[in-house]
Amino acid sequence: MFDKRKDNEISQASTPVEPLSNQPTTETFNTRSAAVIGQTITIKGSVTGDENLTIEGTVEGSIDLPNHDLTIGQSGQVTADLNANTIKVDGQVGGDINGAEKVVITKSGKVKGNIVAPRVTLEDGAKFKGSIDMDPGESAKPALKSTTSNSAPSATAPSSGNNSSGGKSSDNVKAAG
Instruction: Tally the C-alpha atoms within 13 A of residue 98's C-alpha that lie toward its C-beta.
Output: 10
Member of 23, 131, 151, 154 binding another protein (CB under 8 A): 131
Spatial CA neighbour of 112 closest among 72, 66, 56: 72
CB 89: neighbour CB atoms within 10 A? 28
Residue 1 touches another protein, criterion: CB under 8 A:
yes
Residue 150 touches another protein, criterion: CB under 8 A:
no
Handedness of CA 99, 130, 27, 75 (dihedral sign): positive
Q: Considering CB under 8 A, how many residues would be counted as binding another protein? A: 55
Residue 2 touches another protein, criterion: CB under 8 A:
yes
CB of 121: closest distance to another protein in angstroms?
A: 7
Classify residue 67 as left (phi > 0), alpha (psi -120 to 50) or beta: left
**64 or 107: CB nearest another protein:** 107
Q: Which residues in this chain contact another protein in the complex, by CB under 8 A?
A: 1-2, 4-6, 8, 10, 12-14, 16-17, 20, 105, 119-124, 126-137, 139, 141-142, 144-146, 148, 158, 160, 162-165, 167, 169-177
